[in-house]
Structure 1
Amino acid sequence: MNQLQIISQDGQRVLITSQLAESYGTDSERITKNFNRNKERYKEGKHFLALEGKELKDFRATCQIDLLPNINKLYLWTEKGAWLHAKSLKTDEAWDAYEMLVDDYYSVKENIPTLTKEEAEALLFRRTADMIVKIPQLEQKIEEVDQKVDKQITLTQWEQRKLQREVKRKVYKFSDDKEERKYLFPELYREIYDRWGIPSYRDVLRKDLENVITYINAWVPKKKDEEKGEIA
């Protein structure tokens, strides 16, 4: 392994993707693909730091390392992030390299400089500004998750009973004959299943309940097949 150029960010040593790839005997593209395939396992601030905008500009100005001129987002991998990448690669070379990184690179703690009052205030202001930018993005993500959840939640037991009562009320409205109702019940349920693409009334989504009830209220059974004595 070649001597790594030391990169420090937020008081800890980190590696850019090309350094990590070289250490593990692979290329940056594979590191990036592994990250994208397992992105849900990586936590920003724990496994990596992502620099963009002013942070990236400041990093370029202070860090003497070659970066592509058109890069707009830079990932810096922490020790825990390097561990996840070694785990994804599953090679002896990667694990050996990871152990060397821990012993000879990551384990060397950086001296965190004492900030002046002005520097501390400037840092606080920058972090606050970053949060102001990120909060609307987080709110948008939360809204998207809520919408996805709404599309997956099925009826509660109480709502299932409500739907059953509506079906029963409708069927009894059309027939007092016990034998005829034996055909009307499955006919109505079958039409609900076909229309909403579900195998059971228990699978009706909560967001669809009112529409299903409206459909039940407007439902009219098919004519009885006089020869077979069945509902066609």
Structure 2
Amino acid sequence: MYDQLAVVEEEFSLRVVNQSGKLLVDSREVANMIGKRHTDLLRSIENYIQILENAKMRSQNFFVEDNYTTEGNNKAYKKYLLTRKGCDLVANKLNGEKGVLFTATYVTQFEEMEKQIQGEQEMLGNTYSQIKLLATGTIDLNNRVTSLEEKIETQLTIDYGQQRILEKSKAKRIYFLWGNEHVDREVHDSTRKLFGLLGRNLKDAFNVNSYRDILKKDFEEALNFINGWRPMV
């Protein structure tokens, strides 16, 4: 019983292949299923093709010409790959049990392959959606980081280390000017007055209440201001 079942399953097997998005079956398998010689089926298919083309219809939507080789023989033999429409044409001329079984088999196989493709497309769509969501999240994060960096640049004031650098630079500049007599000592009679003047000039230049309020982005400019500073009088 099981051997007979295996023979029946083999006799009525039909593989649907996906070739560049087009679902096709091999004419050799179709011939085997309907109990027809392959050469006779080819002749019938070519007759269908002639009728279709005479009617200005695209025969490629029904039958795709192809070839095959047999083991130990490099000679190419003609075959056709049938679309679902092509199977419909062949089935339309069939009567009896084999015609019914062929129709039932190819309809089932095409539907299963279509479901498989649809499932793969849905999975691909879900994967794409996840990637898109991840990409959107990444872009949003990058935008937030950029915004934060801009905020730091435009709003964050100098840190303690930078404050100390400015203080030392002020002292160095003032003692250089004082020691090399680059100031009018009748007007500026002490380094203390120079410190006060430089401090005021620095705050005015950067529009702050204290040099500690100078923005980080202006640190280098403030340092250059100090190193090039000289009292107006």
| TM band (smaller chain) | 0.3 to 0.5
The structure with the largest alpha-carbon Rg is 2
TM score, norm. by length of structure 2: 0.41
